[in-house]
Amino acid sequence: MHTKDYLVSLLREGRFDEWNELTAETIPDLSEVSLPGIDFHGESLGAILLLRGDFSGANFSNCEMESSHLEMGNFSKANFENAHLVQAVMCDSNFRNASFRGANIRGGFLFNSDITGADLTDSSMDRDNFETFSVAMLATVKGLETVRGLPHGLYADVLWYRREMGRRLWKRR
């Protein structure tokens, strides 16, 4: 069994083949690890534990991350474009200004997280994911109208909120 420090050093050095070989039979635990800006583009990370870590600005585009746990961490400005996040648990985290364009989050959980300014264009997720987000937060999300799985009527509520807030701001001038 290799230490977490050794596994993290493999990632920092971009030695993904060795990482995949060593973690093939386990669920890698990268809890409390700080890897801001790391480039995982196109990697098959499988089920991985990213708990209480800093992955701000990281590139997870086109990654295979089924059943992963991204909880209580900082993923602000991270790129999850076209990532396969089926059954992933992404709770209590900061996803401000992250991109989920084309990501598949079906069967996963994106609860109690901050998605202010995130881009959800053409993503897929279950309607239950939207229950914990305020209309005010969703009003800042890009591409909301293209999300597959968006609850009926929610986008109309967001449009109304955007229009009302725009009117209030205009009246203050």
pLDDT tens, position by position, 80-94: 999 999 999 999 999
User: Which pTM value belongs to this model?
Assistant: 0.89
pLDDT number for residue 162:
85
Element (H, E) at 51: strand 49-51
C-alpha distances in Å from residue 88, one per residue of 5, 68, 85, 152: 24, 5, 5, 24
Confidence of residue 57 (pLDDT cuts 50, 70, 90): very high
Contacts with 136 (C-beta within 8 Å, 6 or more apart), sequence order: 161
Residue 155, CB half-sphere, CA atoms under 13 Å: how many?
Answer: 13
Q: What angle do CA 145, 148, 154 make, to 5 degrees?
A: 50
pLDDT number for residue 25:
82
CB 49 within 8 A of CB 31: yes
Which among 42, 100, 150 has a CA at the least distance from the CA of 88? 100
pLDDT in tens, 110-164: 888 999 999 999 999 988 888 888 888 999 999 999 999 888 888 889 988 888 8
